[in-house]
């Protein structure tokens, strides 16, 4: 997941770029940064929930996973992508 300070920097940079391009009207810099920051945080929360769900599935099926000698990182990634796909999402 992305650290809070990184989200802050991303929000500021995105807001500055949008304002520089003239893509956003009616919001000042502070308000735009706030809107972008909130949207990024919501996206990260969705990803965290999918990650937690994938971890729970792996834990609940650890016997089968170990028996199959599966690569846990690869399995986790596949589960997360499947869960995201079922929800109409695309993970980064």
Q: What is the pLDDT of residues 11-61, one digit of tens each?
A: 999 999 999 999 998 899 999 999 999 999 998 899 999 999 999 999 998
How high is the pLDDT of residue 79?
94
Range 58-79 average pLDDT: 86
Q: What is the 3-state secondary structure (H, E, C) of 17-75?
A: HHHHHCCCCCCCHHHHHHHHHHHHHHHHHHHHHHHHHHHHHHHHCHHHHHHCCCCHHHH
How high is the pLDDT of residue 1?
67
All structural domains of the chain with their residue ranges = 4-86
**Is pTM, for the whole model, over 0.75?**
no
């Amino acid at each position: 997941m992305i650290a809070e300070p990184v989200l802050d920097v991303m929000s500021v940079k995105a807001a500055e770029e949008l304002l520089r391009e003239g893509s956003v009207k009616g919001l000042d810099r502070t308000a735009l940064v706030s809107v972008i920051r909130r949207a990024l945080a919501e996206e990260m929360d969705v990803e965290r929930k999918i990650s937690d769900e994938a971890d729970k599935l792996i834990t609940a099926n650890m016997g089968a996973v170990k028996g199959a000698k599966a690569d846990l990182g690869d399995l986790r990634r596949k589960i997360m992508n499947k869960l995201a796909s079922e929800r109409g999402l695309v993970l980064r």
